């Protein structure tokens, strides 16, 4: 293992801002990571790193506000950390938004919940029941999920400025599209497919049938098992 140069950690330890145990843990963490130098350039950055590495608890460090007047090193660390607060909060907010509205999370929210949740969508279509792989059907499903996800995001203040994430739904694709049944008397088609919103792929099923309103077709989604069970007794 490497032996890192740690002048800032050394100073924090020498002036009793951190304990010997925490100092040794921090140096060991850097050594195991193969670091030859500290990944921060001031005392506030050193404390922030210690907090992010769970070596020092944030609430414990901020107790230095009460004792910093008698410790110049602690006082400087607190001042520098406070100066970084805006940057820290912005970074944490970006990370939280990225985690919540990443394509994978968006897929779980929009596709996982909506695609297999028994949602019913209505669309204007030609007189005949469209095929399972009809692009107009797929585009309508994309638009419906996009609308629902956008509404969910608008209700969460952390999603402000992340509208483009919901837009990724509109570029999603479908694969393994299969018709498993067609019921002549009700003009109902049963379909299976996989909805692809990289890197997540969600298998689901859906049926397409005329609604009670003239000129509209109803698309009802669900799990593949539910759709298979519905059409189990129906010959193609």
Mean of the pLDDT values across residues 16-31? 91
Quickly state the pLDDT bin for 4 (edges 50, 70, 90): confident
Quickly state the pLDDT bin for 85 (edges 50, 70, 90): low
Mean of the pLDDT values across residues 176-183? 95
Name the β-bridge partners of 203: 194
Please tell me the pTM assigned to this model: 0.49
Res 93 pLDDT > 70: no
Could you give the percent of the chain with pLDDT greater than 90?
24
N-terminal to C-terminal alpha carbon distance within the chain: 66
Q: Which of 22-31, 85-94, 162-171 has the highest mean pLDDT?
A: 22-31
Angle at 224 between CA 220 and CA 227, to 5 degrees: 50
Quickly state the pLDDT bin for 101 (edges 50, 70, 90): very low
122 vs 135 pLDDT, higher one: 135
83 vs 176 pLDDT, higher one: 176
Q: So what's the pLDDT on residue 17?
A: 87
Stretch among 39-43, 90-94, 132-136 having the lowest mean pLDDT = 90-94
**How far is it, in rounded angstroms, from Cα 135 to Cα 140?**
8
* Sign of the torsion formed by the C-alpha atoms of 205, 210, 212 and 214: positive
Res 46 pLDDT > 50: yes
């Amino acid at each position: 293992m490497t032996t890192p140069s740690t002048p800032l950690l050394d100073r924090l330890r020498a002036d009793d801002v951190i304990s010997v145990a925490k100092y040794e843990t921090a140096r060991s963490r850097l050594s195991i990571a193969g670091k030859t130098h500290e990944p921060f350039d001031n005392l506030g950055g050193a404390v922030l790193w210690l907090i992010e590495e769970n070596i020092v608890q944030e609430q414990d460090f901020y107790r230095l506000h009460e004792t910093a007047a008698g410790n110049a090193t602690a006082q400087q660390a607190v001042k520098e950390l406070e100066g970084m607060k805006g940057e820290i909060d912005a970074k944490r907010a970006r990370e939280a938004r990225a985690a919540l509205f990443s394509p994978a999370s968006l897929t779980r929210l929009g596709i996982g919940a909506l695609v297999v949740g028994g949602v019913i969508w209505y669309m204007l279509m030609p007189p005949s029941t469209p095929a399972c792989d009809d692009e107009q059907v797929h585009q309508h499903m994309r638009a419906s999920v996009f609308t629902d996800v956008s509404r969910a995001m608008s209700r969460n203040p952390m999603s402000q400025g992340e509208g483009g994430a919901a837009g990724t739904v509109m570029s999603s694709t479908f694969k393994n599209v299969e018709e498993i049944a067609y019921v002549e008397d009700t003009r109902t088609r049963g379909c299976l497919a996989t909805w692809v919103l990289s890197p997540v792929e969600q298998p689901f099923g859906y049926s397409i049938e005329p609604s009670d309103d003239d000129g509209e077709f109803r698309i009802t989604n669900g799990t593949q098992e539910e759709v298979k069970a519905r059409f189990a007794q129906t010959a193609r």
